[in-house]
Structure 1
């Protein structure tokens, strides 16, 4: 058990054989909730993301730091019999095993689900791959960017007359990591009731397709192929970015009551009674006429003036913050979304906080992202002695 852990997952041990982002993000969430996470890395360099920089802090990349707190790192060579044997021992003493190797690779090492299940029938074993354990693409390598393309997400992102565009963060990896955490928690609940572990097969492709949500549903219902709307919305108008006198802002008017309020604020009450724009379906049909009118309206005032007026009337709006502004925003600060931890080489390191706010078992920030192999000796010594790793 993790020292001093009081989180809802305290007493749960996770053997993390994953690297890069989807798997590590999942296990960081579990670690934040109190699980003991043992991160297995190759001795010659460790997790690939350790070198994905600059920037670096204390020799560790910012990329690696973003997804690896609340873990212990051990260095094992899984190509050696000794390394595999140590990993098997850890799997036998764990509640969860997560890996993101190519399909079939873990079985060749003697660490596949059936082999681990024979050692530990209650194990919750989660595999994350590009395309899943089945299907014609199962053996292909999968990366977030490629899956954003293949899932259709890029076809609906970007300007209508521009090129398809990926999102600014690895959203497929992050989504898959969150799905993995949900599935693992559900499997642990089942294990606690029945004593039975199980196998979880997660793919980046499946996660990305699920993100199509209402846009995918619109295609399944209508048969029409969705296009790109830039910063606008396919089904709601106005719901997009506008240029104010000094800078851009985002405005989302989600119902006709908000529309009428907006028209009063804007000094254009006639727009709300215009039959072309009276209801949202009308505004969607006539967006090419309405949006140029609104662009002229927004240029009359500064962005902060608009936002203040819109917030006062309960209309969703906000500034388009740069990342530095996000982390200094009073709401971000008040919600504890930046945390500072002591790191063995970087001194104080600032990390993005957890969004999970639990009243009785709050998230804990116990361990800074570990150095490569920082905990190898202690974990393996305890395993050999038959105690808790």
Structure 2
């Protein structure tokens, strides 16, 4: 996955919107300087904080036995997201047959992370993904499926949220991933397929009411 492209593209869009808002408030535009490397480094903040401040990684990003991915009996995988929340940890332990670990404090869980995680992994490996899905949904702890790409494309929740949209037949009729922002004032969507390089330059600049001379000079 081209993470650098996705990160910098997302931040660039955010920067453009911020600059437009600033222009509305101040009347002045600005030049936006954004590097791909800078974008990636910003996503490493949880890990870099320790190095920047001369502290051991464990003080900042402690290993959590109830946080991560776990394999089930049918070779499918689930993810758990339990960190500091004692009530979630207690519910998890009781539901997986590890009641003897339920009273462990967060400090104890971090100190014995490897041992507790091994016990939890062994317990989850005893049942199927569907079994855990039913149980974890019932006790309402933070968990999720780990899906392959085909499962993601068929996921009913994602389709309910209109995350996949289909272009009209004249535009190819292919399915695309919609942008994820939802607004209550209007419905989002995709009007056109991804453009070729420079395909819409003339159209976009025309909307800006540029002169014919400016159009030729701005290509």
TM-score (norm. length: structure 1) = 0.48
Deviations along 1:201-246, one digit per CA (max 9) or x if unpaired, are 11112111111122222333452357xxxxxx74422212112111
Q: What are the equivalent positions in structure 2 for 1:121-200 lying under 5 Å apart?
A: 169-200=1-32
**Cross-structure match for 1:310:** 136
Q: 1:205 aligns with which of 34, 37, 41?
A: 37
- CA RMSD in angstroms comes to 2.7
**Cross-structure match for 1:55:** none
1:321 and 2:150 correspond: no
CA contact (8 A) 1:342 1:368 kept: no
1:243 and 2:96 correspond: no
Distance 1:205 1:375 in 2: 28
CA contact (8 A) 2:164 2:178 kept: yes
1:358 and 2:190 correspond: no
| Aligned residue-pair number | 208
Q: What are the equivalent positions in structure 2 for 1:34-183 lying under 5 Å apart?
A: 169-183=1-15
Structure with more of its chain in strand, by fraction: 1
Distance 1:207 1:379 in 2: 27
What secondary structure, in the 3-state scheme, does the structure 2 residue paired with 1:207 have?
helix
Q: Which has the higher relative contact order, 1 or 2, with Cα contacts under 8 A spaced 6 or more apart? A: 1
What secondary structure, in the 3-state scheme, does the structure 2 residue paired with 1:198 have?
coil
**Cross-structure match for 1:261:** 91
1:369 and 2:194 correspond: yes
C-alpha displacement of 1:364: 3.9
What secondary structure, in the 3-state scheme, does the structure 1 residue paired with 2:34 have?
strand
What secondary structure, in the 3-state scheme, does the structure 2 residue paired with 1:199 have?
coil
C-alpha displacement of 1:315: 1.0
1:221/1:384 CA distance change after superposition, 3 Å: closer
Deviations along 1:294-313, one digit per CA (max 9) or x if unpaired, are 22211221111112211221
Which residues of structure 2 form unaligned runs of 5+? none
CA contact (8 A) 1:357 1:363 kept: yes
1:183/1:311 CA distance change after superposition, 3 Å: same
Deviations along 1:235-293, one digit per CA (max 9) or x if unpaired, are 422212112111222122231111110111112211213xxxx0222112112221221
